Copies of this chain bind each other. A is one copy, B any other.
């Protein structure tokens, strides 16, 4: 596993909004990225689901992409999330990400109309023709409405230059087994489902793409390190300790819960964008109790 550019804990920063007009707060974003790196993240993934990229307007998106890469400043690799309904706009964003210095892009094919495999393949191919950095295929049927089979994904890795990695967020461990099997264990896959973190590492995941390091970086690292060391008992123990929090942030929506947790930790990052609402007070109390238990 050790020869991949991306491995270990790949952290999603949320996108902070300021209290005045709800615009993107680039300065606070920079502080958050610093904090994630200092806390040990092995890579940074701006403009993922957690980053509310779907809720940013076009100008904001470009601003966040550029500022994030600049802030990381090569301390760790950066993979920028690209999810746009049209191929043309996805290409445009991918080229921009490359231009400002991203190490890779993570491409989620969002659909309104169901896409055929031919349409998905061409979408990836068009993006890859336009850039030279690696592309991570991102499968997340729950948010994107598109469910790519392991067979299609492996075919794209084999036939499209630049497509070299897979992020699986379906939460179905059998998908990872299938990716492993179809590629003889050679295509690196990353887990994007928090409550599956233990089992994904057991099944051979190269990394874990997660928003949890915004709140509990040390626990995510402990799970990765125990897994890397092949120490199953320790991995299980640290996983079960953090699992209630992992389930909570997923169920409550990552931007909503992570922003609430950051505030509880004294890091003000604003509210999520409407229609998303801030975490209600019952949820805040529950989250505060979980964080306390994990930090005692």
Contact = CB atoms under 8 A, between A and B. Distances in A.
A122 interface: yes
Given A145-B145, A232-B235, A115 B275 contact: yes
A120 interface: yes
A118 interface: yes
Contact of A119 (B49, B113, B145, B276): B276
Contact of A277 (B54, B118, B185): B118
B173 A113 contact: no
A113 B255 contact: yes
Interface stretch (A2-10, A32-40, A85-93): A85-93
A87 B203 contact: no
A146 to B, nearest CB: 10
Contact of A230 (B54, B142, B231, B243): B231
Contacts of A86: 55, 273-275
A149 interface: no
A95 to B, nearest CB: 16
Interface in A140-174: 142-143, 145, 173-174
B143 A202 contact: no
Contact of A143 (B113, B123, B254, B255): B113
Nearest to A116: B277
A173 B194 CA distance: 13
A263 interface: no
B143 A274 contact: no
A248 to B, nearest CB: 12
Nearest to A114: B253
A185 to B, nearest CB: 7
Interface in A264-282: 273-277
Max chain B C-beta neighbours (<10 A), residue from A126, A202, A277: A202
A173 B185 contact: no
Contacts of A275: 86-87, 109, 115, 119-120, 122-123
14 contacts: A49-B113, A54-B85, A119-B276, A122-B277, A123-B274, A123-B275, A180-B240, A185-B240, A198-B199, A202-B235, A204-B240, A230-B234, A231-B232, A232-B235
Interface of A: 49, 52, 54-55, 85-88, 109, 112-116, 118-120, 122-123, 126, 142-143, 145, 173-174, 177, 180-181, 185, 195-196, 198-199, 201-204, 227, 230-236, 240, 243-244, 253-256, 273-277
